[in-house]
């Protein structure tokens, strides 16, 4: 991927090439982003740029043999790590200690189709059946093995770690020394959506680059990568039940969500927080900043007229508590039954 192909955060398209050209590039960079803001595309573009044989005008050429392999994600010096778990698409032996290498063909296919893919896209694509992905100590050992070798073709060996917050503590500790003193010509690019969940010792070894949220116009230009708002119908049903004080009408909603896997439940809560934000923005006359789609505009406007202004802060907090409970493996039926009751009482 070239910098010119990335949507949003245009200042980085100048900053990152300058860091390379002026020999100011850190050996470990931590991109911090909200989901879908381009952290992974920027990591890919930077990896391609450092090994391009004819880079010019602040971008890789896109034509040399190195760029050709990077754009197909098959360059021998480009390595990927991402959260995984057991899946039917790997062998029984591989299921015992799943690592990213076992899923690389599917990963490349998904990433080439949509470099702005979400965590749930990954899990759906590699078929880990509603289980949460993680980056294990076996993955950390594999990283050390790969980076102990000399580069095959390029000046840099690049290790892109997507969602490093999914590393367990044993894996993170095992990588600390390598992150602090990597072999010459090694570049770590970490793309995180929750950097606060990384060990402080990991964060301190990386140069932090924060990506800004995309504007409404930038998001509109990403229509080819747009993800359906999967849970909008359930959220509308839930909010209407709450406004009507119809407790029984909330039962199908929380039962449906409780039957999903943990990652889908997290996605529901995150979509709900976005949904609340949209209603709040419309209610306060900020439609231009709300990112409301045409297909949901009528429902959002109706809810914005009905919801008490005191609800928004409480409602957002309820979903935050639900996310915390999901991460703590609390019984899902208890989480979502309680959540729906609280929403009904506060709407």
Task: Give the tokens for residue 81.
Answer: 């790590």
Q: Report the distance separating Cα 8 and Cα 57, nearest Å.
A: 19
pLDDT in tens, 183-218: 999 999 999 999 999 999 999 999 999 999 888 678
Name the domain count of the chain: 2
Whether residues 217 and 258 fall in one domain = no
Last-in-domain residue among 173, 194, 223:
223
Whether residues 113 and 164 fall in one domain = yes
DSSP string, 226-249: PPP-TTHHHHHHHHHHHHTT-HHH
Whether residues 25 and 152 fall in one domain = yes
Whether residues 102 and 167 fall in one domain = yes
pLDDT in tens, 252-280: 999 999 998 887 898 899 889 989 999 99
Q: Report the distance separating Cα 104 and Cα 108, nearest Å.
A: 6
- Tell me phi and psi for residue 31, to 5 degrees: -85, 125
Task: Assign residue 316 the CATH number of its domain.
Answer: 1.20.272.10
Whether residues 296 and 214 fall in one domain = no
pLDDT score of 307 = 94
Whole-angstrom Cα Rg for the chain: 22
Last-in-domain residue among 189, 223, 257:
223
Whether residues 186 and 240 fall in one domain = no
Last-in-domain residue among 205, 223, 241:
223
Whether residues 213 and 265 fall in one domain = no
Whether residues 24 and 75 fall in one domain = yes
pLDDT in tens, 313-347: 999 999 999 999 998 889 999 999 999 999 999 98
Residue 102 has pLDDT above 90, yes or no: yes
Range of the domain at 246: 228-346
Q: What is the mean pLDDT of the chain?
A: 91
Q: Report the distance separating Cα 330 and Cα 254, nearest Å.
A: 15
């Amino acid at each position: 991927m070239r910098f010119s192909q990335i949507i949003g955060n245009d200042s980085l398209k100048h900053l990152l090439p300058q860091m390379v050209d002026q020999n100011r590039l850190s050996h470990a960079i931590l991109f911090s982003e909200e989901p879908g803001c381009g952290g992974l595309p920027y990591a890919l573009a930077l990896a391609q740029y450092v090994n391009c044989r004819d880079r010019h005008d602040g971008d890789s050429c896109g034509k040399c043999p190195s760029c050709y392999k990077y754009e197909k994600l098959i360059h021998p010096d480009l390595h990927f790590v991402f959260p995984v778990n057991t899946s039917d698409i790997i062998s029984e032996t591989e299921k015992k200690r799943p690592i990213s290498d076992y899923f690389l063909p599917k990963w490349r296919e998904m990433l080439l189709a949509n470099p702005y893919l979400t965590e749930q896209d990954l899990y759906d694509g590699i078929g880990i059946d509603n289980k949460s992905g993680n980056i294990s100590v076996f993955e950390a050992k594999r990283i050390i093995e790969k980076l102990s070798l000399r580069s095959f073709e390029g000046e840099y060996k690049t290790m892109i770690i997507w969602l490093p917050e999914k590393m367990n503590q044993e894996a993170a500790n095992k990588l600390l020394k390598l992150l602090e003193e990597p072999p010459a010509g090694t570049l770590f690019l970490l793309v995180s959506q929750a950097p606060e969940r990384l060990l402080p010792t990991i964060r301190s070894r990386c140069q932090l680059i924060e990506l800004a949220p995309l504007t409404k116009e930038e998001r509109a230009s990403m229509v080819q990568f747009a993800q359906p708002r999967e849970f909008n119908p359930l959220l509308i049903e839930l909010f209407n039940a709450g406004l009507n004080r119809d407790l029984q009408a909330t039962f199908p909603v929380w039962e449906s969500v409780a039957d999903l896997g943990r990652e889908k439940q997290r996605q529901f809560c995150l979509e709900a927080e976005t949904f609340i934000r949209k209603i709040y923005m419309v209610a306060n006359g900020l439609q231009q900043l709300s990112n409301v789609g045409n297909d949901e505009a009528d429902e959002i406007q109706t809810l914005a007229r009905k919801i008490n202004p005191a609800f928004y802060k409480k409602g957002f907090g309820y979903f935050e508590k639900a996310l915390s409970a999901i991460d703590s493996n609390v019984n899902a039926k208890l989480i979502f039954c309680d959540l729906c009751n609280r929403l009904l009482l506060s709407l």
